């Protein structure tokens, strides 16, 4: 009878009863309507008759009568509000919000402490000879496409290096000794390679057939930088102009921007393709809205630089900075440097945490200034081209690993592989 009564008693009793078969989490109790005799409850609530106590009944009879009147039809103790919890289980009861937040904070702190710190490699993963690469700060002659093919111009030749099978293919050679590629860029689908030249022409090459498919001659001087935005190819030149080419149209010039006063040496479209950043040898940085491409409608103009603005990278994260690449696996950014008054970053690759910009480490294997950097499609490897005529591959953007030996560790010695 004790166990039966505990099932229909008050919340306090149900909480404290050692034989209760139900859990009552928290301090809120909701009546169980299916266990209540609502007709009897209504009668007791609406009956205004004042109970009279007759001296003819002794206390024993009165208690027995009260027990009879307070039992329901099944013989269980009648209660106007019957509380019942959920069947007991092994799970912990619900705790207060504050306690839950404290536990979450402890778990987060513990997980942060258990994260293994990243270790930078002591050297490059591979070294390729880059003989005849132009030691020119203003050119941009290397780009790594989504097809895992690295395009790099070495003097009058342009080579394609397949990072998957390590094969090298010469795409083109320029016979004119006064002309050579000064900028390259893969299209977003990696089917077309854009090549800008010192003598102002701009070419589109089919990567699969290695054939020239189109040629533009809208600039008057060398093309130092090119950047794709869908079917629009943007080129910047020493003639100080920026031209947006619609490669689908017969009349290719979609718009022309004339804001820089000196050579345009840096172009970068935002990931969404709605904003363009341009940098020039006039030390200015312009931000353009793709829907308002005219020379008088730039969004912003920044004048704080004291040297040419070439290295541009958009973040959905100065010495002579020659290149920037965002780490896709960690909140970091890689900067490539050339000449500097400080020997700490001269000719080095530097990795910085974002947004604190604390230095993670430096790599100083190049013996001359770094000219270009590009990132592999999977975001794990970065290649740098230096004035020392080498291409160096760095596995520095990958996720943290513990005692993991790279399959390319055997190449960390002085071994070199000719690109040509």
Average pLDDT, the chain: 81
The percent of the chain in helix, strand and coil, each rounded to the nearest 5, is 15, 35, 55
Residue 6 has pLDDT above 70, yes or no: no
Which strands form 157-162's sheet, in the order they lie side by side?
A: 142-144, 149-154, 157-162, 168-173
What's the half-sphere exposure (Cβ side, CA atoms, 13 Å) at 391? 30
Of 55-64, 144-153, 268-277, which gets the smallest average pLDDT? 55-64
CA–CA separation, 317 and 326 (whole Å): 7
Instruction: Say yes or no to pLDDT of 408 above 50.
Output: no
Q: What is the pLDDT of residues 187-245, one digit of tens each?
A: 999 999 999 999 999 999 998 999 999 999 999 999 999 999 999 999 999 999 999 99
pLDDT band at 23 (very low <50, low <70, confident <90, very high): low
Mean local confidence (pLDDT), 281-301: 90
pLDDT score of 87 more than 70:
no
More confident residue, 25 or 77: 77
Q: Dihedral sign for Cα 97, 102, 107, 109, please.
A: positive
The larger pLDDT score, comparing residue 415 to residue 14, is at 14
Element (H, E) at 45: helix 38-46
What is the per-residue pLDDT for 267?
97
CATH class for the region spanning 138-309: mainly beta
* Residue with the two structure tokens 């909701």: 30
Please tell me the predicted confidence (pLDDT) of residue 415: 41
Percent of the chain with pLDDT over 70: 67
> Between 141 and 112, where is the model more confident?
141
Choice between 84 and 152, residue whose per-residue pLDDT is larger? 152
- Domain range list for the chain: 119-132+313-397, 138-309
DSSP state of 71: B
**Tokens read off for 203:** 């070419």
pLDDT in tens, 40-84: 667 766 766 555 555 556 777 777 766 666 666 566 665 555 555
The pLDDT of residue 63: 72
* CA angle, 58 then 64 then 68, to 5°: 140
pTM for this prediction: 0.61
Mean pLDDT value of segment 406-418:
42
Average pLDDT over residues 4-18: 50
What distance in Å separates the CA atoms of residue 370 and residue 389, rounded to the nearest whole number?
A: 10
For the stretch 352-373, what's the b/e string if a residue is b when 16 or more beta carbons lie within 10 angstroms of its beta carbon? beeeeeeebeebebbeebbbbb
pLDDT at 2: 44
The answer to whether 310 and 320 have CB atoms below 8 angstroms apart is: no
Note the pLDDT of residue 323: 92
Alpha-carbon distances of 86 from 74, 165, 256, rounded to whole Å = 22, 63, 72
How much is the pLDDT for 67?
67
> Which band of pLDDT confidence, cut at 50, 70 and 90, is reported for residue 383?
very high
Whether residue 91 has pLDDT greater than 70: no
Kindly list the distances between the CA atom of residue 242 and the CA atoms of 265, 266, 326, in Å, as whole numbers in the listed order: 10, 10, 25
Tens digit of each residue's pLDDT (9 = 90 or more) over 94-108: 445 566 566 666 665
- The helix or strand, by DSSP H or E, that contains position 68, with its residue range, turns out to be helix 59-69
Q: Which of 19-33, 115-129, 380-394 is least confident?
A: 19-33
> Which pLDDT does position 412 carry in this prediction?
37
pLDDT tens for each residue of 316-357: 445 788 899 999 989 999 999 988 777 778 899 999 999 888
- Distance between CA atoms of residues 278 and 312, nearest Å: 8
Burial classification of residue 221, based on how many CB atoms lie within 10 Å of its CB (0-12 exposed, 13-18 middle, 19 or more buried)? middle
């Amino acid at each position: 009878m004790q166990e039966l009564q505990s099932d229909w008693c008050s919340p306090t009793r149900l909480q404290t009863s050692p034989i209760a078969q139900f859990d009552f989490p928290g301090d809120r109790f909701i009546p169980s309507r299916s266990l209540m005799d609502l007709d009897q409850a209504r009668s007791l609530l609406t009956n205004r008759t004042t109970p009279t106590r007759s001296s003819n009944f002794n206390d024993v009879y009165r208690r027995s009568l009260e027990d009879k009147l307070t039992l329901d039809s099944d013989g269980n103790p009648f209660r106007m509000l019957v509380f019942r919890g959920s069947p007991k289980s092994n799970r912990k009861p619900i705790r207060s919000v504050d306690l839950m937040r404290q536990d979450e904070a402890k778990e987060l702190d513990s997980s942060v402490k258990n994260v293994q710190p990243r270790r930078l490699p002591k050297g490059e993963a591979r070294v390729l000879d880059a003989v005849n690469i132009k030691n020119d700060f203003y050119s941009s002659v290397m780009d790594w496409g989504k097809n895992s093919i690295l395009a790099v111009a070495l003097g009058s030749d342009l080579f394609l290096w397949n990072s998957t099978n390590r094969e090298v293919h010469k795409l083109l050679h320029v016979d004119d000794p006064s002309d050579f590629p000064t900028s390259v860029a893969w299209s977003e689908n990696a089917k077309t390679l854009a090549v800008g030249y010192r003598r102002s022409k701009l070419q589109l090459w089919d990567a699969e057939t290695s054939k020239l498919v189109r040629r533009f001659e809208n600039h008057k001087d060398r093309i130092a930088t090119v950047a794709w935005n869908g079917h629009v190819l943007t080129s910047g030149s020493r003639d100080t102009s920026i031209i947006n080419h619609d490669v689908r149209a017969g009349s290719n010039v979609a718009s022309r921007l004339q804001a820089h006063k000196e050579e345009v040496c840096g172009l970068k479209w935002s990931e969404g393709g709605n904003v363009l950043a341009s940098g020039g040898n006039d030390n200015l940085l312009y931000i353009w809205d793709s829907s308002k491409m005219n020379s008088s409608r730039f969004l912003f103009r920044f004048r704080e630089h004291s040297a040419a603005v070439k290295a541009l990278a958009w973040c959905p994260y100065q010495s002579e900075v020659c290149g920037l690449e965002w780490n896709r696996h960690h909140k970091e950014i890689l900067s490539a440097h050339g000449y500097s008054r400080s020997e700490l970053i001269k000719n080095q690759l530097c990795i910085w945490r974002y947004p604190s910009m604390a230095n993670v480490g430096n790599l100083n294997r190049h013996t001359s200034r770094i000219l270009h950097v590009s990132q592999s499609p999977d975001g794990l490897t970065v290649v740098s081209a230096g004035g020392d005529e080498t291409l160096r591959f760095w596995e520095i953007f990958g996720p943290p690993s513990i005692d993991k030996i790279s399959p390319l560790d055997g190449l960390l010695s002085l071994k070199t592989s000719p690109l040509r």
